[in-house]
Amino acid sequence: MLDPFYGMHWMLATPFDQNEEVDYDSIPNLVNKAISSGCTGVVGLGVMGEAARLTDRERTKIAETIIKSSGNLPVTLGTTANGTKAMIDRSREAEQIGAAAVMVSAPSMPKSNLDALFGYYYQLAEQLTIPIVMQDYPQTSGVEMPVDFIVRVANEIPNVKYLKLEDPPTPTKISAIRNKIQDRMGIFGGLGGVFLLDELRRGSIGAMTGFAYPEILVQICNEYKNGKSEGAEKLFYDHLPLIQFEQQEGIGLAIRKAGIHHRGLISHPTVRHPAGQLAENTYKELLEMIKRVGLK
């Protein structure tokens, strides 16, 4: 049976105005684009959403705005915090305001303390009825999640129903996990979709990512689901240059926001300080790349 979360979940950017204040009026535009693109869901308050640069008050209002705009579209909210209590409080608030799931990355902690990390997720699972998406993203968290740790979580914490895997090489890690737990945990790719095709081949159930053209990744997931692997391959490789261009370390978020702004979905491409804004020559390269792959 196909998992109800199968497909593309668009990671929403947090729009800011030129003064770095949250542009709440642009949030419904993003949600509506996810709906019109055929996304399975949206994800707010993740790394793409600059969650670490938001105040608690902003986080709550952004979450409420996303959910109010989403209609029947499932909303996953990022609730990561360095303290277990703060993470649980954020997650309980997310459930109370209508989130379909929460996404939680590892907190800052000694890399070897996997028992403490297990407890972080175990305590959360005791407090929630909605599913938990465990995010494996060592580039931002600084914490490695070995395959055996993920297997332990899948076996012992049933409410951690999904894994967002962003620890490359992701296809290899998907296979290693699948060999031990089969389908007990749904696995999503991320990283802008750069490994999406191989991830689907290895048994992922889609992607949670912020690529500025989510409809392309939706089509790839749908083609693959319907057994049209050649169509999925063509779509993927036709657009791979833009996917890779977006996924540049250090400036990827600024590139994505520039692309989303170019599409008219947000009023400004502002990234909150201390992140830098996109250089003019990189923006020109982005527009050339969009044109080159045949997108408007």
Residue by residue, DSSP assigns 115-142 as HHHHHHHHHHHHH-SS-EEEEE-HHHH-
Q: How many CB atoms lie within 10 A of CB 139?
A: 11
Instruction: Compute φ and ψ for 17, nearest 5 degrees.
Output: -85, -175
Q: What is the pLDDT of residue 2?
A: 85
Q: Per the structure block, which two tokens stand in for 262?
A: 């170019």
Q: Per the structure block, which two tokens stand in for 271?
A: 């990234």
CA distance 196 to 296: 22
Q: Angle CA(2)–CA(152)–CA(189) in degrees, nearest 5?
A: 45
Strand boundaries in 1-65, DSSP class E: 7-11, 41-44
The CATH architecture of the domain made up of 7-226 is Alpha-Beta Barrel (3.20)
- Asked whether the beta carbons of 9 and 208 are under 8 A apart, the reply is yes
Instruction: Compute φ and ψ for 211, nearest 5 degrees.
Output: -45, 135
Q: What is the pLDDT of residue 108?
A: 85
- Name beta bridge partners: 133: 103, 162
Q: What is the pLDDT of residue 265?
A: 98
Q: What is the pLDDT of residue 111?
A: 66
Q: Angle CA(184)–CA(108)–CA(62) in degrees, nearest 5?
A: 75
Residue by residue, DSSP assigns 233-257 as HHHHHHHHHHHHHHT-TTTHHHHHH
Q: What pTM was estimated for this model as a whole?
A: 0.97
Q: Angle CA(174)–CA(125)–CA(82) in degrees, nearest 5?
A: 80
- Asked whether the beta carbons of 156 and 149 are under 8 A apart, the reply is no
Rounded to 5, what percent of the chain is helix, strand, coil?
Answer: 50, 15, 35
- pLDDT means per 10 residues, the chain with 296 residues, are 93 98 98 98 97 97 98 97 97 98 92 90 98 96 96 98 98 98 97 97 98 98 97 98 96 97 98 94 98 93
Q: Per the structure block, which two tokens stand in for 44?
A: 């707010």
- Asked whether the beta carbons of 23 and 266 are under 8 A apart, the reply is yes
| CA dihedral (95, 97, 101, 104) positive or negative | negative
Q: What is the pLDDT of residue 70?
A: 98
- Asked whether the beta carbons of 244 and 194 are under 8 A apart, the reply is yes
Q: Per the structure block, which two tokens stand in for 20?
A: 């770095």
The torsion of the CA quartet 82, 83, 85, 90, rounded to 10 degrees, works out to -20
- Asked whether the beta carbons of 106 and 143 are under 8 A apart, the reply is yes
